Chains A and B, each alone.
Chain A
Amino acid sequence: DTGVSQDPRHKITKRGQNVTFRCDPISEHNRLYWYRQTLGQGPEFLTYFQNEAQLEKSRLLSDRFSAERPKGSFSTLEIQRTEQGDSAMYLCASSLTGDYGYTFGSGTRLTVV
C-alpha cells in the first residue's frame, strides 16, 4: 500500500476557471476527509465521507465546492468559478471507522491567479 495519493501536486489556474482534485485513500480505509490549509494555519475541515456517503460538510464548503466519492473508493473535490481566496493546500486523509488518527496525503497546492 502506497498510502494516500493526491493528484495533482500543484495546480495553477486563472480566476473563474473550474478545477478538480483527486484523492486515492488507503484501500481498506472506509472514511475519507478533505481539509484545506492556508499559509500559517492548521488544516480546516471541509467534508467527510463514510464509504460513498458524504456525511458532513463544513460551512467553509460553499456552493462552488462539490465533493464525491463514487463506489466508496477514490474521491474528487471540484471547485467551480475559482476565486483568489481559494488559493490553499487541499489535503485528503483517510482512516478506518473507530480509528481517530488520520493518514494524510501530500496535498494539492492550488494557486488562483
Chain B
Amino acid sequence: AQSVTQPDIHITVSEGASLELRCNYSYGATPYLFWYVQSPGQGLQLLLKYFSGDTLVQGIKGFEAEFKRSQSSFNLRKPSVHWSDAAEYFCAVGVTGGFKTIFGAGTRLFVKA
C-alpha cells in the first residue's frame, strides 16, 4: 500500500539557516511526489512537484526538493529560512490516474530569530 513518512514531527531552525525536511514514500510504481505548505487555519498550497526527468526540482518561495529513487526519498530544502516560512509542511505521493493523493502526517517548522 502507498504511504508517506515524515520522520520529524517538528523542526526548529534559526532565521537565515538552511533547512531540510525529510520524506520517505512507499509506492509500487513510478511516484508522483509533492510538497505542500499549510499556514495555521488555512488550506494547503503546492510548493513543488516531481513526475519525471531531473531529480532536483525547483518550487515556489525558494524551495527545492530532490528525488532519490534508491532511498525512496523526496527531501525538501531551502538554503536560507525566513520567519515567514514557519508553517506545516506535507509531503505527498499521487496515485496513478491523479485522483487520489496520500499525505504524510506533516512536519511543523518553527523559525527562531
* A residues whose Cβ falls under 8 Å from a Cβ of B: 4, 6, 31, 33, 40-45, 48, 50, 55-56, 91, 93, 95, 97-107, 109
Contact = CB atoms under 8 A, between A and B. Distances in A.
A48 B99 CA distance: 7
Nearest to B106: A42
B110 to A, nearest CB: 15
Most chain A C-beta atoms within 10 Å of own C-beta, residue among B34, B42, B43: B43
B105 interface: yes
B100 A56 contact: yes
B44 interface: yes
A103 B46 contact: yes
Nearest to A6: B43
B34 A4 contact: no
A104 B34 contact: no
Interface residues of B, number: 24
Contact of A91 (B44, B51, B102, B104): B44
A97 B105 contact: no
B25 interface: no
B92 interface: yes
17 contacts: A33-B99, A40-B105, A41-B106, A42-B92, A43-B44, A45-B100, A50-B99, A55-B99, A91-B44, A100-B51, A100-B94, A101-B49, A104-B36, A104-B45, A105-B43, A106-B41, A109-B41
Contacts of B100: 45, 48, 56
